[in-house]
Structure 1
Amino acid sequence: MTRLGHVGFFGWGNYGDELMYQTWISAFGDEFTHERVHDVLVRPYFSRPAEEIAADVDAVVIGGGDLIHPDAISTLYWNRAWLTRPVIVAGVGVALERTRRRGDVPGRLRTFLQHENVHFVGTRDQGSTHWLRDTAGLSREIETGADPGFAAALPPAGHPGRDTVGVVFRKVPTDQDLSTLDRLLRLMEPRGFRVEVLVLAVEHDQALERRALEDVGVPPEIIRTESSIDALTAALGGYRSLLTAKFHGAVMAARYGVPALSLRMTHKVRALSIALGDPWLAREPHLMDDTALATALERRSSSPLLHTLEETATHHMNRAVSATRRVAERKIP
């Protein structure tokens, strides 16, 4: 069997990243084995030299997620040891909301991505492709797809009740997040809606995020956790509406037809709003009056562009799988 080493923010338990890892495993099928290249969740991420890890796999798959940081080069994501094997980069994004820049980053990424052992480069959105071309100066072909979450399997929607508004925070809730939660409880409960805070993470990150919620005084009775990525996905599908500070909460809500608002405005949220044709997604709840917020949460969500995004994401992943299969079959020593 072909041995794949996966590079990404995998293993910590963040929903979007674990969803993508699960989606890769499904896309590659039974002819491949899969392992994360790192075995430690803190720097330096490896318990043995990265060169030894690379030698144990037939190909390295990097992505997806915000793995390109304009202000840093990760020794996990862009380790030059991976270039000793065939490398496939797919579904990655540039963290354009980072305001800091470091002058050496574009050139170092360009050197990595134009290496002869990198056989496929694909991004999740046009903004990331433009950055690689215009800022990093990449001259090779770049395939622009859609976020890998649009290619993930959809379990049947859960049943927290279609009268439930879900809320997803990111790591530690901000004061603004907590103010929005208090406002939701005041606004939506008299309208017959429950409000539930979903910890959109498993394992390591779930424990940290739940503790953070309790530390800032979120009532334990409205906090919900689940033990698997599929269960979290199903929970998202069961809500009447969703407010989320995590990008993949909005992605998967859209796929279930659950109207969503973003609590954390980033370039990828704005791009998702445009891609879905849903301007509400790019409107910040704290800037809405009560009438507008209630209208946004009670609206119906059905994007005619959703099917195109799902097809694009699936095609992108299939292209990456095909490229991986071609180079792995050469059995490069």
Structure 2
Amino acid sequence: MRIGLVGYFGWGNYGDELFLEVYKRAFAGHELIFFHTAEPAGLKSDVEDLVDSVDAIVIGGGDLLIPWYKSWLYWDERFLKKPVFIFGIGVPTWGKINTEVMEHYRRFLSHPNVRLIGLRDAESLAWVQKNLLAEGPFGFWPDMVLALDFPVQQPDSNRVGFVLRHQNTYVTEPLYRAAEVVAAANKDLALIFLSTGRSKNDDLEVMRHFDFPNIDLIHRDSLQGQSNAIASCSHLVSMKFHGVVASYKCRVPFISLSSADKFKSFCMQTHNEAYSSNWADPALPAKLEKLFADGGDFSNQDDLVNEARKGVEALRSAVIGVKNNAQE
């Protein structure tokens, strides 16, 4: 079976490459066809021929239903010639709603060839049902990355990982105060880069703005190496969403460094609301001290992992079913 993939694959962003790993495992034995180029970024020039050549198309994951902006990559109506499965997506709600964009989403999602719309948190599902479609082929499963196996190892009890990313404000006063909490606890601060390729070049810019003594810099050019770096920490403070997800999967207590919807939803899913923060939060140092004292909550990890695996299996069965139904 030939399965078209529409996603942010090949740019070297940790979370998106983990999505691809999920798809490779879910569709082992089938041919995965990418509809885009990484350099330069864009859809392939022969995308219409590619659509004609595949049996089904999978879109996702990530925060793809952006209410104020329609991505050039994900929502091309040419995809709708084939059965489409949208999976592992969320909705960022901090920006304004663009009515033209919303109408495009409404047309796309209501098309009869859209066979599955898989949301990764309850809040995104509720938003879609309220603002786009009251009814549809919806499913809700935790982030698909939880379905992967992650390293099991004894962490370095003194290593606290910080995962930062390229952004306008770079490093803030609360982040420096949090680094001082690490030093006061006689722990080692490690700056972990969860990126390769073009994404790495952006993230490395952070180094020029975080002038704190005695930092270990950890960069690995493989997903396994990056996941190992997370698993090696006793605690993680992450500005990247899948740094948080991987930390949770590795049972490394974490603090999220963003107030974006997906971070808040994940902290609620995992019962770690106390450790939801952001890079400008004055309470960040106190939250880190609390994390050192109390640790994170992993009480429902098995349930979330099982649900994520059910979601991936539901996607696999639905996609493979297209070919099986065509042969009957």
Find the counterpart in structure 2 of residue 251 from structure 1: 245
Structure 1 residue 314 displacement after superposition: 0.7
Structure 1 residue 139 displacement after superposition: 2.3
The one-letter code matched in structure 2 to 1:214 is: M
Map 1:35-184; keep pairs closer than 5 Å. 35-42=33-40, 45-97=42-94, 99-157=95-153, 161-172=156-167, 174-175=169-170, 177-184=171-178
The superposition leaves residues 85-108 of structure 1 with CA deviations (integer Å, 9 ceiling, x where unpaired) of 1111111111223x1210022221
Q: Measure the CA separation in 2 of the matches of 1:28 and 1:71.
A: 33
RMSD of aligned residue pairs (Cα, Å): 2.2
The superposition leaves residues 160-217 of structure 1 with CA deviations (integer Å, 9 ceiling, x where unpaired) of x221110011223735x3434432343322322000111111222112211x123325
Mean Cα deviation higher: 270-279 or 287-296? 287-296
Q: Measure the CA separation in 1 of the matches of 2:133 and 2:167.
A: 36
Q: Measure the CA separation in 1 of the matches of 2:244 and 2:172.
A: 19
The superposition leaves residues 140-174 of structure 1 with CA deviations (integer Å, 9 ceiling, x where unpaired) of 13111111111122133475x22111001122373
TM-score, structure 2 as length reference: 0.91
Structure 1 residue 25 displacement after superposition: 1.0
C-alpha contact (below 8 Å) 1:184/1:195 kept by paired residues: no
Q: Measure the CA separation in 1 of the matches of 2:201 and 2:154.
A: 22
Q: Measure the CA separation in 1 of the matches of 2:308 and 2:285.
A: 36
Q: Measure the CA separation in 1 of the matches of 2:47 and 2:134.
A: 26
User: Which stretches in structure 2 are left out of the alignment for 5+ residues?
Assistant: none
Find the counterpart in structure 2 of residue 277 from structure 1: 271
Find the counterpart in structure 2 of residue 318 from structure 1: 313
Q: Measure the CA separation in 1 of the matches of 2:319 and 2:183.
A: 51
Find the counterpart in structure 2 of residue 213 from structure 1: 206
Identity percentage over the alignment?
25
TM-score, structure 1 as length reference: 0.90
Structure 1 residue 315 displacement after superposition: 0.5
Structure 1 residue 42 displacement after superposition: 4.4
Structure 1 residue 84 displacement after superposition: 1.2
Aligned length: 325
C-alpha contact (below 8 Å) 1:202/1:229 kept by paired residues: no
Structure 1 residue 57 displacement after superposition: 1.9
Structure 1 residue 257 displacement after superposition: 1.6
Structure 1 stretches (4+) deviating beyond 4 angstroms? 217-221, 289-292
The superposition leaves residues 236-281 of structure 1 with CA deviations (integer Å, 9 ceiling, x where unpaired) of 1111111111111111111122111111112221111111111222
C-alpha contact (below 8 Å) 1:20/1:152 kept by paired residues: no
The one-letter code matched in structure 1 to 2:251 is: G
Q: Measure the CA separation in 1 of the matches of 2:63 and 2:69.
A: 12
Q: Measure the CA separation in 2 of the matches of 1:157 and 1:52.
A: 46
C-alpha contact (below 8 Å) 1:158/1:235 kept by paired residues: no
Given the alignment, which residue of 285, 288, 293 partners 2:288? 293
Q: Measure the CA separation in 2 of the matches of 1:187 and 1:317.
A: 39
Structure 1 residue 330 displacement after superposition: 4.2
Structure 1 residue 293 displacement after superposition: 3.0
C-alpha contact (below 8 Å) 2:277/2:284 kept by paired residues: no
Give the direction of change, closer, same or farther, for the CA distance of 1:256–1:55 in structure 2 (3 Å limit): same
Find the counterpart in structure 1 of residue 299 from structure 2: 304
Q: Measure the CA separation in 1 of the matches of 2:133 and 2:162.
A: 40
Structure 1 residue 290 displacement after superposition: 4.8
Given the alignment, which residue of 205, 216, 219 partners 1:222? 216
Structure 1 residue 79 displacement after superposition: 0.7
C-alpha contact (below 8 Å) 1:88/1:121 kept by paired residues: yes
C-alpha contact (below 8 Å) 2:144/2:312 kept by paired residues: yes
The superposition leaves residues 41-83 of structure 1 with CA deviations (integer Å, 9 ceiling, x where unpaired) of 445x134142122123221101111111101122210111111
Q: Measure the CA separation in 1 of the matches of 2:20 and 2:139.
A: 20
Give the direction of change, closer, same or farther, for the CA distance of 1:95–1:289 in structure 2 (3 Å limit): closer
Paired residue secondary structure (1:222): strand
Give the direction of change, closer, same or farther, for the CA distance of 1:40–1:289 in structure 2 (3 Å limit): closer
C-alpha contact (below 8 Å) 1:61/1:89 kept by paired residues: yes
